[in-house]
A and B are shown apart, each in its own frame.
Chain A
């Protein structure tokens, strides 16, 4: 799996858009970009994933650069409840991985703090 690089921490004002960057310069063609978050000691929560097109769901938007070497997770109107550690994970789809060990590899993530 490709490695990812994220800033260790970020601040954002409540009500503003939070833009979390992730670098994954060694991503390969069949690897997806996944975002999860973990709110203090709770189980990680899936946010969104994408392959090469930009994606949007009820929680967030995912912008992937054309060369796929980086991406940005956007929380459009951050609230205090969005304070969490956000993990960017690059991984191929299980159908390509041959069914072997394909657990998610969580790095250190970005600690996003929403300020009131």
Chain B
């Protein structure tokens, strides 16, 4: 079954404590991306990756890092989280026409 798996699903952390949200896909897709969703602002792209070792900024990259060392994994790294990064995060993996999204990670930074 085609799947994008994110972990954790829920996370509460404190300001400044580094965290990583993992994302894995089983479809051998080259293109992966991260989005955040906030009330009234909709879904916005944070970073994307066209292939292994190829990443680039999306619309709202500040405060985030990503890496793509292997095709299936695309972790999102918050080196020093701040309260304005409290949000719902989605990882996506795209095939020829169809994008598959993970179930989301609800992050709260206090």
Interface residues of A (CB under 8 A from B): 32, 34, 36, 41-46, 49, 93-94, 99, 101-104, 106-108
Question: Known contacts A43-B90, A44-B43: does B56 contact A101 (CB below 8 Å)?
Answer: yes
Chain B minimum-CB-distance residue to A44: B101
Q: Which 8 A-B pairs have the closest CB atoms?
A: A43-B101, A103-B45, A106-B43, A46-B98, A44-B101, A106-B42, A43-B90, A43-B102
Q: Mostly helix, strand, loop or mixed at chain B's interface?
A: strand
Residues of B within 8 A of A41 (CB): 88, 104, 106
A94–B50 CA distance with the chains assembled, in angstroms: 11
Interface size class of B (residues with CB under 8 A): 20 to 34
Complex formed: what's the CA distance from A49 to B95 in Å?
Answer: 13
List residues of chain A with CB within 8 A of the CB of B31. Answer: 94
For A42, the chain B residues whose CB sits under 8 A away are 103-104
